[in-house]
Amino acid sequence: MDRRETSTVTSEIADALGREIVGGAYRPGSAIPGEDEVCARFVAGRSAAREAVKILAAKGLLQTWPRRGSRVREMKNWNFLDPAVLSWLRETAPPRDVIIELFEMRLAFECEAAALVAERGTPAAVAEIRSAFEHMQRAANGSSDPIAPDAAFHEAILAATRNRLFQPLSALVHTALQFSVPTTNALFGHSVGDLAAHQRVLVAIEAKKPQRARAAMRAMLEDVLERVKAAPVLPKRSKG
């Protein structure tokens, strides 16, 4: 098996086992299938099986020991900022539960990020936020993908905080929007995110009003969260 084929099989093993772990097939503290079983299941060589385990260990899902196998770590160790782990979560958990958790998490940091940008964002950084908003407006007319500019708006705010510890959260926001936007836009009857709510955040940032920016971001996120909680049935989202 050449290097490309080994890499493909390794990804297949990591993806399958990662999805099963996050989905609850293996409880924290339990052992995952041994190397021989994994090789047989995926028709893989030992090197591919071992590399897959290393990938999952690097994401915090597994603890490994030489000649003792691998066991699932406690959930507190899982790297939910990793796009793959988030992907496995959204594939295995009820959609409403995932959307609620994602919005609760976003409320914990995006409101303060908006306030920080209003306080100290550079003109160039704020211009990036406006550019993303203008792309959202064009997307509302059906001229482009509705998710990309929405994600760019929120990611530009995180980047503009000039706080290095906010930057890795962009991956969480991007994945959250990829998963939730088709459902929440359908719930609101929007072709793109709530333009008026996004504009209120932008205007507050441009006016250098931290408290107003914080409140506008909180109102926007809380509105979506409450509607998701209250909806009797969530609109179905296409797979992708």
Q: Where are the domains of the chain?
A: 3-76, 94-230
The answer to whether 204 and 113 have CB atoms below 8 angstroms apart is: no
Q: How much is the pLDDT for 236?
A: 66
β partners of residue 72: 62
Q: How much is the pLDDT for 37?
A: 95
In Å, what is the CA distance from 73 to each residue of 18, 28, 31, 86, 121?
12, 5, 10, 16, 40
Q: How much is the pLDDT for 4?
A: 44
Q: How much is the pLDDT for 240?
A: 40
- Domain 94-230: give its CATH superfamily: GntR ligand-binding domain-like (1.20.120.530)
pTM of structure = 0.82
Q: What is the CA radius of gyration of the chain?
A: 21
Q: How much is the pLDDT for 176?
A: 85
The answer to whether 196 and 177 have CB atoms below 8 angstroms apart is: no
Q: How much is the pLDDT for 131?
A: 98
Q: How much is the pLDDT for 40?
A: 95
Average of per-residue pLDDT across 171-177: 86
Q: How much is the pLDDT for 48?
A: 95
Architecture of domain 3-76 in this structure: Orthogonal Bundle (1.10)
When the pLDDT of each residue in the chain is averaged and rounded to a whole number, the result is: 91
The CA distance from 112 to 218, in Å, is 9
Q: State what percent of residues in the chain have pLDDT above 90.
A: 72
Q: How much is the pLDDT for 3?
A: 46
pLDDT for 54 beyond 50: yes
In Å, what is the CA distance from 136 to each residue of 48, 57, 132, 146?
43, 38, 6, 7
The answer to whether 163 and 179 have CB atoms below 8 angstroms apart is: no
Confidence of residue 5 (pLDDT cuts 50, 70, 90): low
Average of per-residue pLDDT across 93-106: 92
Average of per-residue pLDDT across 80-85: 89
The answer to whether 9 and 1 have CB atoms below 8 angstroms apart is: yes
Average of per-residue pLDDT across 61-74: 91
The CA distance from 64 to 95, in Å, is 31
